[in-house]
Amino acid sequence: AGAREDSRMDPDTDHEAATATGRCECGGVRYRLRGEMRPVVHCHCTPCRRITGHHMAATATARDDLHLEEDSTLVWYDRTPEVRYGFCGRCGSTLFWMASDKPSTIAIAGGALDQPTGLSTVLAIYTDEASDFHVLDATLESFRLDHPDDHPAWPGPEADA
């Protein structure tokens, strides 16, 4: 697939103040967000663990609120027909996660956001698949597998139809 997911992620000339900004390590992908971000969720599922090297710690926002300022090295890995991960093809930074059952939402790797984020971690999912060397945070609400569909921290700032 091409670098830009769709026209909603195209750079635009609207210079409304960003809620947050972020980028990959080498700067080949830079973005800004406008709008609400979901609190951070730790996903310990095997695919997220293998793709990130630990676990995915991600916020989420409405796809319409993500504006790519540079995407020359953005590559999408279609893990399944329903799930894809966006990363930098040059430095390897994990950046995004999207699922077809959440078409209006995009998850954003928390570590790629510029500091300070003002976010906090509220939830851990797929804890049964966490690495054996990782100590789970006992202060977080945790689910052995996926979270309930009606969990207040999911899917994020915009509920998909």
Q: CA–CA separation, 143 vs 60, rounded Å?
A: 19
Q: What pLDDT digit, counting tens, does each position of 60-84 carry?
A: 999 999 999 999 999 999 999 999 9
Q: What is residue 2's predicted lDDT score, i.e. its pLDDT?
A: 41
pLDDT tens digits, one per residue of 134-161: 999 999 999 999 877 777 766 554 444 3
Do strands 40-43 and 121-125 pair parallel, antiparallel, or not at all (unpaired)?
parallel
Q: What is the pLDDT of residues 36-61, one digit of tens each?
A: 999 999 999 999 999 999 999 999 99
Contacts with 126 (C-beta within 8 Å, 6 or more apart), sequence order: 43, 44, 45, 46, 48, 143, 144, 145, 146
pTM of the model: 0.83
Helices (H), the chain: 46-52
Q: What is the pLDDT of residue 156?
A: 52
Confidence (pLDDT) at 148: 75
Q: What is the pLDDT of residues 1-23, one digit of tens each?
A: 444 444 445 444 444 677 999 99
Residue 33: strand, helix, or coil = strand
